[in-house]
Structure 1
Amino acid sequence: MTADKVITGATVVTVDDKRTVIRDGAVAISGRHIVAVGPRAEIEAAHPGAERVDATGQMLLPGFVNLHVHCALAVTRGLGDDLGGAPVYRKDIPQGVLLSPADTSTFTSLGGLQALKFGSTTVVENYIHAQTNVAALDELGLRAVVSERVHDADLFSVRDGEYVYDADMGKRLLEANAQLIEDWHGHDEGRITCHVGPHGPDTASTALLERAGELADQYDVGMFIHLAQTKGEVAQVRGRTGTSSVRHLADLGLLGPRLIAGHCAFLEDGDAELLAESGTNVCQMPVVNAKSGWIAPVAELRRLGANVGLGTDHMVHDMVEAIRFALCVNRVSDGGPQHIAAMDVLEMATIRGAQAIGRAHELGSIEAGKLADLVLVDLDGAHLAPVLDPVANLVYAGQSSDIHSVMVGGKFVVRDREALTVDEQAIVERAQHRAEELWRSIGGWRPAGVAGDCRC
């Protein structure tokens, strides 16, 4: 097939089955797809009329697949990390139902912009007002898997250890998720797809979880859930059902390859085996969990053969940071470096993530026939020199600012560190203005150094 574009001169890190790395390599692209990968001279000779993109001095990677994001929670950056616990359960900060659809759109644009510029070509997004959020992600040019946040427990009561269920709320949110699927699933030749998003096994009643599974069956889509996220969740589910959170989902027939289970930090005896044996996809969030003092038992899950990918969760969507944290925390939990290396965590951020969304045949590696979701990383910084193993350099010493360009479906959406699809400055200014209004009115915030500093 004739290529219309050739990215040439890069160190191509394919993440294919052989984990091939091609120095002075090239990738030929036709439309949305990769048509050839190989040495520069060979690919250039085979496609003489194609546009040349000179990537000399750069590394070409598959785009990161970020398996768990709530982009609108960018509104909590700078204040949220010191509050303790997940923002979702607090009514004294601007989040959740305290935000309007316009607000979540504003902050989804901000969070999605960071994810994109930092190399996430695909995000798995779950939050309220999903219809407006997905439009913001679509405008950015991201590949996105989107779901509505579905629950029938009052999330604000959970912080006090109370679970008050409202069947009408659960029905309304599940209907919103169904409408989202009807309106957006398969948009732009599959760049936007949808999942069903029950929030968690504690915040969704057994009846609602069953209906969520039925909806996923009806539309033949995947599912997104927080699982074994907190000690409180695990205790509540055991008190309600007599079993663990993971076993509860197994009993309902919800575990399996279509499910992405986020966190999995508080697994009980036998849970890891259930996740691995069922083919459930686990999303580790090493940064946010480490901030709370938790480490998911990923070393055990990987030894059992579970598919484990990576997510950033909320506030900061930096997958370069996430892969480094994943390497470090998993070595801490496993007692040393012998079982996880730089390529392993790059796999978690790419091909493992693609497998989790059921698209490893299309995404997650640089191979002919796959979609051209690609990231160019500058290798010429002093902090990266000398470059002897480019993957190790990225994992151990790389920075998100090293990401030079990002391509989704054969189209550059970030070039020379500038977003091409949106007015970046306008997004930042709009988010700054609205965040100040919201924090002032809801959280009692004052700028640092001003009398009456934020009490939060």
Structure 2
Amino acid sequence: MATVIRDAIIVTSDPEGRIIYDGAIAIGDDGNIAAVGSTDEVVNAHPNAEMISARGKAVFPGFFNCHTHLTATLSRGILEDLGFPSPLRFPEQVAAMLSAEEMQVFALLGAIEGIRSGTTTFFEQGRGISNYAQQLADTGARFVLTESMTDVNYNVISAGTLLKSSSDFSEELAEQAYQRAVDVYDAWHGKADGRLTVYFSPSTTDSVSPAMLHRSRELAEERGVGYTIHLSQSKQEVAGVMAAWGVLPTHYLEQNEFLGPRLVVAHCREIIESEIQALGRHTTGVSNNPAIAARRGAAAPALDLEEAGCRVGIGTDNMAEDMVEAVRTGYFVERVRRDDPFSPSPEKLMEWATIGGARIMGMDETLGSLEVGKQADLFITDLRRAHMVPVLRVISDFVNNGQASDVEAVMVAGDWVMRDRKLLHIDEDDILQRGEELAHRAWRQLQEKYPDVAMPFPLMEGPVF
């Protein structure tokens, strides 16, 4: 049976930026949008549909989280306050204290927070991503998955050692990485009724060789998908690339024919004008991750990148998956960075978080806005809240004042993923309980295993529930 959401404010994110007051949206049995218009028009055209009144509520296109690492929720409350790269010098990652099955909990913990904030599409980069791909698919949300590749020893890079020359790279590690990435593609691309897409991902500019850049792009283009990389997220990365190749990270990518319209770069916090122009020349997609950048005392020049020709979206990166927070932080930080009280507008941030994200993932023909024929990926937010009233400009009100807790329903491809603030495909209470217990255990075991490694602050004894 078709569904009609009626009596709502419909924020379409269409090319005209239409907002329909006392509007309705009809979703067909195929999960596509059948009609968008006034309540009277849509209801009269679909008299036999299930009718859902959304009076006092707004319907938005689902958010696109353009760059994240869901399992990093394991390190909440710790890594946010240590800068980047982290100064912790444990010989192993804390994730090594847990089994693959246990790490699924933290992927789901991040997905829960994301869905609750209106996210319908996540761009998830990780290592060993097949260990939790099925669990993500089972949430009902949409995911772009990408297995991180590097052909140097990742522990060496994370420990702060700069690349010195091309001799630091390993062809054996490269072949292993390619095989892992292809295996993920073969296992998951197009699965879950098309809700899973797989990209290719050399990890960072200071952890991959020119050969890996070329091969990664080839692997993606042979399969008609995109590819991604972390770009200029730290001064150390810039120094590492300069030490190895004598150029800045963006120019390293351009010299190796890596830039292009299928590419999504994440961060861009430490770039200069010549790099901005290079990215723009190739209409590169950029995931601006403002909340994690602000936590680390940095900011990407988001509007400058767009004005140069880049396509811009919003991401969370790690630890926090709240897209409402990410959108608002991007809005505030960019105004501070530019010393401009007027730009960007709240409408620009909403564009980046919806249709903008769809563009950089190559999904804007079918997703990203509420238009007839597109898939019904959307969320409903309650406007009758103390921090939202009066509702005089709905997009500005939500960007400036909205909270994730305002989101009461989320739909992906016409199916409810959350309704009446209840997640329909995840046992949230179980994930919260296990996440609390496992994180305390993992961090305690890591410190006990390496007692000579100092933590900069004591951790709470726990679990606390």
Give the structure-2-normalised TM-score: 0.92
- CA shift, 1:91, in A, is 3.4
* Secondary structure in 1 matching 2:372: coil
Task: Identify the match of residue 22 of structure 1 among 12, 20, 23.
Answer: 20
Please state whether the residue corresponding to 2:438 is helix, strand or coil.
helix
Change (3 A) 1:314 1:86: farther
Change (3 A) 1:236 1:117: same
**Deviation per CA, 1:292-348, whole angstroms, max 9, x where unpaired?**
111111131122232111000001101111111111111111111333100000011
Counterpart of 1:415 in structure 2 is 419
| Residue in 2 that maps onto 1:59 | 58
CA contact (8 A) 2:383 2:406 kept: yes
2:4 aligned residue? 6
CA drift at 1:86: 4.1
Q: Within 2, Cα distance between the matches of 1:200 and 1:15? A: 32
1:253 pairs with one of 253, 257, 260: 257
In structure 2, C-alpha distance between the alignment counterparts of 1:211 and 1:134, rounded to whole Å: 24
Q: Contact (CA 8 Å) 1:76, 1:94: kept in 2 or not?
A: no
| Post-superposition offset of 1:131 | 0.5
2:36 — aligned with what?
A: 37
288-297 or 165-174, larger mean C-alpha shift = 165-174
Which of 26-35 and 170-179 deviates more?
170-179
What per-residue deviation string (whole Å, max 9, x for no partner) do you get for residues 6-58 of structure 1? 01111000010110001110000012110100000110000000001121111
AA at the equivalent of 2:22: D
Deviations 1:378-434 (A, max 9, x none): 000011110011111101111111111000000011111110011111111121221
Shift of 1:96: 5.4
Partner of 1:176: 180
Task: Trace 1:140-155 onto structure 2 (pairs within 5 A).
Answer: 140-155=139-154
Residue identity in the other structure for 1:268: I
The 10-residue stretch of structure 1 (152-161 or 335-344) with the greater mean CA deviation from structure 2:
152-161
Does residue 124 in structure 1 map to residue 128 in structure 2?
no
**3-state SS, counterpart of residue 413 of structure 1:** strand
CA RMSD between the two structures = 2.1
Residue type of the partner of 1:47? H
**Displacement of 1:168 after TM fit?**
2.1
Aligned equivalents of 1:375 and 1:87: distance in 2? 35
State the distance in 1 between where 2:214 and 2:229 align: 13
Shift of 1:141: 1.0
Which residue type is aligned with residue 56 of structure 2? Answer: G
Q: 1:451 to 1:379 in 2, by over 3 A?
A: closer
Q: Deviations over 1:243-277 (max 9, x none)?
A: 22111111222111111100011113411011111
* Change beyond 3 A, Cα 1:331–1:451: closer
Q: Residues of 2 paired with 1:219 and 1:431: CA distance? A: 36
Matches within 5 A, 1:268-283: 268-283=272-287
Q: Over residues 188-245 of structure 1, what are the superposed CA-to-partner deviations in whole Å (9 max), with x where a residue is unaligned?
A: 3321000001101111122222221121122221112100111111121122222221
2:90 maps to what in 1?
91
Give the aligned partner of residue 451 of structure 2.
none
CA separation in 2, counterparts of 1:214 and 1:104? 31
Aligned-pair CA distance for 1:98: 5.4
CA contact (8 A) 1:91 1:156 kept: no
Decide which of 342, 351, 355 is 2:355's aligned counterpart. 351
Answer with 10-19 or 262-271: which moved more.
262-271
1:215 matches 2:211:
no
Structure 1: tracts of 5 or more residues without a match: none
Q: Percent identity?
A: 35
In the superposition, the TM-score normalised over structure 1's length comes to 0.94
For 2:248, the equivalent position in structure 1 comes to 244
Alignment partners' CA distance in 1, 2:254 and 2:347: 32
In the alignment, is the contact (CA less than 8 A) between 1:118 and 1:403 conserved in 2? yes
Give the one of 366, 375, 382 matched to 1:378: 382
Structure 1 SS opposite 2:48: coil
Q: Mean alpha-carbon deviation: is it higher for 368-377 or for 87-96?
A: 87-96
Offset from partner CA, 1:353-386 (integer Å, 9 cap, x none): 0001001111111000001000000000011110
Q: Structure 2: any 5+ residue segments left out of the alignment?
A: 449-453
User: Equivalents in 2 of 1:451, 1:320: separation in Å?
Assistant: 28
Alignment match, 1:316: 320
Task: Flag the 1:427–1:19 CA change in 2: closer, same or farther, 3 A.
Answer: same
- Return 296-305 or 3-12, whichever deviates more: 296-305
CA shift for structure 1 position 450: 8.7
Shift, 1:89, TM fit: 8.0
Count matched residues: 450
Do the aligned residues in 2 keep the contact of 1:89 with 1:157 (CA within 8 Å)?
no
- The residue correspondences of 1:95-106 to structure 2 (distance < 5 A) are 95=94, 99-106=98-105
Correspondence for 1:394 among 398, 401, 404: 398
CA distance in 1, matches of 2:240, 2:435: 36
CA distance in 2, matches of 1:7, 1:234: 49
1:361 counterpart residue number: 365
